Amino acid sequence: MEQFRLPQIEMPKLALPKAVQDVLAEAETKLAHRPKLLKLFKNCFPNTLETTTKRLDDGTTFVITGDIPAMWLRDSVEQVVHYVPLAKEDPELRSLIAGLIRRHVACILLDPYANAFNESASDWHWNTTDVTEMSPWVWERKFEIDSLCFSMRLAYLYWKETGRADVFDADFKLAMRAIVDLFKTEQRHFERSPYRFTRNNGIPTDSLRGGGLGMPVNYTGMVWSGFRSSDDACDFHYNVPGNMFAVVALRHMQEFAEWVFRDMALLAELKELEQEIDHGIKLYGIYRHPEFGPIYAYETDGYGNYCLMDDAGTPGLMSIPYFGYVTADDPIYKNTRRFALSRENPFYYEGKAAKGIGSPHTPPDYIWHMALSMQGLTAATAEEKLEMIAMLEATDADTGFMHEGFHADDPNQFTRKWFAWSNSLFSQLVYKAMKDGLLDG
User: What's the pLDDT at 67?
Assistant: 87
Q: Is the pLDDT of residue 387 over 70?
A: yes
Q: How far is CA 226 from CA 96, 128, 358, in A?
A: 31, 19, 21
Residue 250 sits in a domain whose CATH number is 1.50.10.10
Give per-residue pLDDT as tens, 143-169.
999 999 999 999 999 999 999 999 999
Look up residue 233 and give its amino acid. Answer: A
User: What's the pLDDT at 15?
Assistant: 85
Mean pLDDT across the stretch 429-437?
Answer: 97
Band the pLDDT of 63: cuts 50, 70, 90: very high
- 329-338: long-range contacts, CB 8 A cutoff, minimum separation 24: 329/380, 331/294, 332/286, 332/294, 332/295, 332/296, 333/296, 335/289, 335/292, 335/293, 335/294, 335/295, 336/292, 336/295, 336/296, 337/378, 338/292
Give per-residue pLDDT as tens, 279-315.
999 999 999 999 999 999 999 999 999 999 999 999 9
10 lies in a domain? no
Band the pLDDT of 415: cuts 50, 70, 90: very high
391 lies in a domain? no
Host domain of residue 301 = 18-343
Q: Is the pLDDT of residue 6 over 80?
A: no
Q: Whole-model pTM?
A: 0.96
Give per-residue pLDDT as tens, 320-331.
999 999 999 999
Buried b (16+ CB within 10 A) or exposed e, 293-323: eebbbbbbbbeeebbbbbbbbbbbbbbbbbb
User: What's the pLDDT at 8?
Assistant: 58
| Spatial separation of the C-alpha atoms in residues 133 and 130, rounded to whole Å | 9
436 lies in a domain? no
425 lies in a domain? no
Average pLDDT score, the chain:
96
Q: Residue 288: helix, strand or coil by DSSP? A: strand
User: What's the pLDDT at 202?
Assistant: 86
12 lies in a domain? no
| Spatial separation of the C-alpha atoms in residues 307 and 287, rounded to whole Å | 10
Q: Give 353's DSSP letter.
A: S
Band the pLDDT of 10: cuts 50, 70, 90: low
Band the pLDDT of 4: cuts 50, 70, 90: very low
419 lies in a domain? no
Q: Under a CB-based contact definition with an 8 Å cutoff, are residues 120 and 189 in contact?
A: no
320 lies in a domain? yes
Mean pLDDT across the stretch 194-199?
Answer: 97
| Spatial separation of the C-alpha atoms in residues 88 and 157, rounded to whole Å | 11
Q: Is the pLDDT of residue 52 over 60?
A: yes
Helix segments in 88-214, DSSP class H: 91-110, 145-162, 170-187, 189-192
| Spatial separation of the C-alpha atoms in residues 375 and 372, rounded to whole Å | 5
32 lies in a domain? yes
| Spatial separation of the C-alpha atoms in residues 375 and 339, rounded to whole Å | 13
Domain count, the chain: 1
Q: Give 198's DSSP letter.
A: B
Q: Is the pLDDT of residue 373 over 90?
A: yes
